[in-house]
Amino acid sequence: MSDELQTEEDAPVETGSPAADVVESAAPAAAAKPKAKAPAKRKAPAKPKAPAKGKTSKVKYVGPADQQNATLAQHGYRSVCEPGKVYELPVAVAAKVVKGSRHFEPVKPAK
Amino acid sequence: MSRVDAVGLAYQATFGTEETTMEYWIPVETADVNENPTDLSIQETIGNRFATALDRGTRFFDVPMAGALRAVSGVRLFSGFICQPVAAGSGPYTHTMDPTVADAAPVFHSAFAVRNDPISVGQDPIVDLFYDMLGNQLDVTINANDYVKFNAAWIALNVDGDQDAPDVTADASPKLKFDEVVVSTSVDDGTSWVALLAAAAGITYQNNLDTDEAVLGSRALYALPYGNADAQVTFTARSDMLTWYRAALAADPTDVSVKMVCTGATPYIFSVLLASVQEITAPAPISGADVLKGIDVTATAHLDSLGAGPNANKFLTAVFTNSTATYPGP
């Protein structure tokens, strides 16, 4: 049970959200004590690290539908490319993707 | 099943200049590369009886690709054999390849052949980038319980072995299948068509590329001119067997138009039309062990120079329908 709660990364426990209620009802022994705030101290699980700015590059897929890029799949995108969609990838990976296919164009960052 | 190897294909804008960025990565079953070196040897008297070292002359590369045809990358594949496609429509788009149109000719391609398997045992991938490449012979075959298959025999004049393995965007459009194919014939030059009960069909298109182009001062061939175009169609007729049998035995050949249309998932359509073919064989073997269920008809195509219908002055026309607006080309 506690494992499930720890995965509720978006639930702000201290605000009395449904998730917090569940915590209290599921642990009656702990609720009787004045230190019921203990769950609030629980740290949210670490979110996936967002790529640092300046270290990513955007590429736009301008090819036809039904084309499958294995590299995109490895970086969390659907493996079938969506025409017109912009993908944000590590710089080296973006360069590799652009080099491998004419259907990817580098997207210049807006100034 | 899939493999980590990859075969890429791109239109090459300038003869002699390789394209390093591919347009389509075509899933293939096999792509066996063969080199065709010419050996220099001479019998000399050198005072002993042991062989002397060899020297090499010109070379070019056979780059055959075999796999299941797809309506997106198939256009790029065919353009190396027939001609640059002419696009029409506004989505879905049709891409028509008609080599009888003025100035229509196969266009040069560059092709990556990447063997990534060695990476799994700690070795470098084996990467070839072939360029100055034209299609020599293209076979499209359709059999029951099978995909529409192609066997594309390319000839490349040059290879670049210094390229890194590029990123691959494979063509994942649906494979065309046998149950989507209808073979039809026409006896009035394409005005009306009658569907044929066929168990198998195949078309061969041959450019007769000339590789006898060696010149002094270079080991590479200086050009790769295409010769006369030939086309042949084969099909196993399970209807009108007597008609096909008699037609092949007739004193004078009978002209007939043949087309194959494969209507896949929307919007993918592939069709090949031979404007006028003449039967050359249609044997009806007698066998104590087998039922004569069909007759294997073989016919050669010729320019429909005497026709008065829609196929007049046509030879072979391939049309792909897909959602791709254009394909780079001359």
**Entry field: residues in chain B:** 330
Query: Which residue, among B148, B134, B143, has the nearest Cα to B320 in the 3D structure?
Result: B148
Query: Which residue, among B155, B27, B147, has the nearest Cα to B80 in the 3D structure?
Result: B155
Q: Other CB atoms closer than 10 Å to residue B1's CB: what's the count?
A: 3
What's the pLDDT band for B274 if we cut at 50, 70, 90?
very high
Answer for the pair B56, B36: CB distance below 8 angstroms, yes or no.
no
Give the count of Cβ contacts less than 8 A between chain A and B.
Answer: 67
Angle made by CA atoms B77, B115, B165, in degrees to the nearest 5: 85
pLDDT of residue A6: 43
Chain A residues with CB inside 8 Å of B171's CB? Answer: 66-68
Q: Other CB atoms closer than 10 Å to residue B301's CB: what's the count?
A: 24
Q: Tell me whether A6 touches chain B (CB under 8 Å).
A: no
Q: Tell me whether A84 touches chain B (CB under 8 Å).
A: no
Burial of A76 per CB tally in 10 Å (0-12, 13-18, 19+): exposed
- Which of the pair, A66 or B149, is modelled with greater confidence? B149
pLDDT of residue A100: 77
Q: Tell me whether B138 touches chain A (CB under 8 Å).
A: no
Cis peptide leading into residue B267 (ω within 30°): yes
pLDDT of residue B36: 87
As given in the structure block, the two tokens for residue B310 are 């829609």
Of A30-34, B193-197, B238-242, give the lowest mean pLDDT range: A30-34
A residues 9-38 closer than 8 Å to B (CB): none
Rounded CA separation B111/B127 (Å): 10
Q: Tell me whether B326 touches chain A (CB under 8 Å).
A: no
Answer for the pair A101, B167: CB distance below 8 angstroms, yes or no.
yes
ipTM of this complex prediction, to 2 decimal places: 0.77
Q: How many CA atoms lie within 13 A of B206 on its CB side?
A: 11
- Which of the pair, B154 or A52, is modelled with greater confidence? B154
Kindly tell me if the per-residue pLDDT of B217 is higher than 70: yes
pLDDT of residue A87: 92
Rounded CA separation B5/A56 (Å): 28
Q: Tell me whether B129 touches chain A (CB under 8 Å).
A: no
Cβ-proximal residues to A5 (8 Å cutoff; 6+ apart), any chain = A19, A22, A23, A39, A42
Kindly tell me if the per-residue pLDDT of B12 is higher than 70: yes
Q: Which of B3, B20, B127, B167 to mutate to test the interface with A (most CBs of A within 10 A)?
A: B167
Contact B323 A102 (CB under 8 A): no
Residues of chain B with pLDDT > 70: what percent? Answer: 99
- Which of the pair, A22 or B219, is modelled with greater confidence? B219
Q: Which of A60, A69, A82, A102 to mutate to test the interface with B (most CBs of B within 10 A)?
A: A102
Kindly tell me if the per-residue pLDDT of B257 is higher than 90: yes
Query: Which residue, among B112, B113, B105, has the nearest Cα to B78 in the 3D structure?
Result: B105
Chain A, nearest residue to B166 by Cα: A100
pTM of the complete model: 0.83
Contact B20 A103 (CB under 8 A): no
**Entry field: residues in chain A:** 111
Low-confidence ranges of chain A (pLDDT < 50): 1-33, 36, 48, 52
Shortest Cα–Cα distance, B173 to chain A (Å): 5
- Expressed in angstroms, the distance from the first to the final Cα of chain A is 48
Mean pLDDT of chain B: 94
